C-alpha cells in the first residue's frame, strides 16, 4: 500500500491525502495561528484593562460552556439533520469563545493561568482548560445538564434570544475587537434563535408527548432565566465605559421576543421561583451569595469541566 503522506492534497485517489499533510498537527491543539493576529488589540482610552478582560471572560465562558453541552448531542440527536444543526451551533459558540478568551488575555495577561511546566499553550487554551469551576464566570443556564431534545431547544431559545440582543448592541462597542466579534456573532445567533423558535413551535403543536416534554424543559430551565438580566459590577462598569452592555437594558426586548414565541405556541410562562444563589464561606463571598458571574455554580459545571479539560491537563502542550 503506498504511503498516502506522499500524495498531494488534491489527489482524488485517496480521501485521506489532504488530511495527512503536516500529519503531526492536523487534529487539534497545535499549529493554529493567533486568532487575533493582525488585529489592533490596544485597550481604548479610559477603559480599565482588567474590566475589559473580565467582561470578555464572562461572554466567552457563556459560549464555551454551552458549546460543550451542545457537543454532547453529537451522534445522539433525533435525526441526522438536527445532529448536524446542533453540532454547528456548538461550533459557532466555540468560535465566539475562542475570540473572546483571546481578547481577555490580550487585554489583561494576569488573567491567564500559568502552567507549572512552562508548556507553550496559547492563552485562550489556558483560560479554557486550566481554570477551575469557581474561576469561570458563565451564567448558570449554560452549565446544567442537557436533558432531552425538547429541553435543549428551550435552552437554545432562551440563551440565543438573550445573547443576540446583547451582542447586537455590542456591535457599537468602543472596543474594536468586541465590536467585530459581535458583528459576526449576530448572524450566527440569529440562526440559533430561529432554529430553536421553529422547533419550540413544532414541539408545542405536535403530539401530547412532545408538548409535555417541551413544557417540562421550560419549567426546568426557568429558574435560571432571571439571572441573565441581573447586572454584575463588571458588566455595569463595562457599560459605563462604552465597551459593554448592561444586560438589564435588553430585558424588555428579549421578553417581547419570548412572549411572541410563547403566544404562538400556546405555552404559558412557568410559575417557578428563580434558583437561589450559592452560599459559602470566604472573604470574597458577596452578602447575597454567588451566582454564575461571581463564580457560584451548580455541581454540574465541575463534572462538565472535568471531561472537557482532562486531556489538556494530562498532556499540557501535547501535540497530535
CB atoms within 10 A of CB 271: 7
Residue 304 phi, psi (nearest 5): -60, -45
How large a percentage of the chain has pLDDT more than 90? 73
Segment 200-213 shows an average pLDDT of 98
pLDDT confidence of residue 315: 85
* CA torsion through residues 87, 12, 15, 20, sign: negative
Segment 263-280 shows an average pLDDT of 91
- Please state, rounded to an integer, the average pLDDT across all residues of the chain: 88
pLDDT confidence of residue 33: 72
pLDDT confidence of residue 6: 38
By CB atoms closer than 10 A (0-12, 13-18, 19+), residue 83 is: middle
Distance CA 186, CA 151 (A): 23
Per-residue pLDDT tens digits for 281-310: 544 555 567 999 999 999 999 999 999 999
Segment 130-136 shows an average pLDDT of 96
pLDDT confidence of residue 26: 35
Segment 62-82 shows an average pLDDT of 93
The class of domain 43-277+287-314 in CATH terms is: mainly alpha
pTM of the model: 0.87
Per-residue pLDDT tens digits for 251-267: 999 999 999 999 999 99
pLDDT confidence of residue 121: 86
Q: Residue 219's closest CA among 256, 269, 253? A: 269
Q: Please tell me which residue, 57 or 74, carries the higher pLDDT value.
A: 57
Segment 89-96 shows an average pLDDT of 97
pLDDT confidence of residue 238: 98
Per-residue pLDDT tens digits for 9-62: 444 454 444 444 444 333 334 445 788 888 889 999 999 999 999 999 999 999
Least-confidence region, from 30-34, 118-122, 126-130, 146-150: 30-34
Q: Is the pLDDT of residue 2 over 80?
A: no
**Alpha carbon of 154 to those of 92, 162, 282, 288: distances in Å?**
18, 12, 35, 28
**Domain residue spans of the chain:** 43-277+287-314
Amino acid at each position: 500500500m503506498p504511503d498516502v503522506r506522499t500524495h498531494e492534497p488534491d489527489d482524488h485517489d485517496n480521501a485521506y491525502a489532504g488530511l495527512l499533510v503536516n500529519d503531526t498537527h492536523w487534529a487539534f491543539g497545535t499549529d493554529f495561528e493567533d486568532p487575533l493576529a493582525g488585529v489592533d488589540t490596544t485597550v481604548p482610552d479610559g477603559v480599565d484593562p482588567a474590566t475589559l478582560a473580565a467582561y470578555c471572560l464572562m461572554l466567552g465562558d457563556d459560549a464555551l460552556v454551552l458549546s460543550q453541552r451542545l457537543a454532547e448531542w453529537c451522534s445522539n440527536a433525533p435525526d441526522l439533520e438536527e445532529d448536524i444543526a446542533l453540532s454547528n451551533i456548538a461550533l459557532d459558540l466555540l468560535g465566539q469563545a475562542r475570540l473572546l478568551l483571546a481578547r481577555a488575555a490580550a487585554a489583561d495577561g494576569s488573567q491567564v493561568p500559568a502552567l507549572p511546566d512552562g508548556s507553550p499553550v496559547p492563552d485562550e487554551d489556558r483560560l479554557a482548560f486550566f481554570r477551575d469551576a469557581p474561576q469561570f464566570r458563565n451564567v448558570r443556564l449554560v452549565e446544567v445538564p442537557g436533558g432531552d431534545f425538547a429541553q435543549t431547544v428551550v435552552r437554545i431559545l432562551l440563551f440565543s434570544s438573550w445573547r443576540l440582543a446583547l451582542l447586537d448592541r455590542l456591535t457599537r462597542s468602543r472596543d474594536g475587537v468586541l465590536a467585530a466579534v459581535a458583528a459576526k456573532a449576530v448572524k450566527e445567533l440569529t440562526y440559533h434563535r430561529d432554529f430553536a423558535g421553529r422547533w419550540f413551535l413544532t414541539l408545542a403543536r405536535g403530539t401530547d408527548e412532545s408538548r409535555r416534554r417541551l413544557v417540562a424543559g421550560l419549567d426546568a430551565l426557568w429558574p435560571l432565566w432571571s439571572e441573565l438580566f441581573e447586572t454584575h459590577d463588571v458588566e455595569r462598569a463595562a457599560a459605563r465605559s462604552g465597551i459593554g452592555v448592561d444586560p438589564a437594558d435588553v430585558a424588555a426586548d428579549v421578553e417581547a421576543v419570548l412572549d411572541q414565541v410563547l403566544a404562538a405556541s400556546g405555552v404559558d410562562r412557568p410559575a417557578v421561583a428563580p434558583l437561589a444563589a450559592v452560599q459559602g464561606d470566604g472573604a470574597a463571598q458577596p452578602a447575597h451569595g454567588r451566582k454564575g458571574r461571581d463564580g457560584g455554580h451548580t455541581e454540574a459545571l465541575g463534572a462538565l469541566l472535568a471531561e472537557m479539560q482532562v486531556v489538556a491537563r494530562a498532556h499540557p502542550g501535547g501535540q497530535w
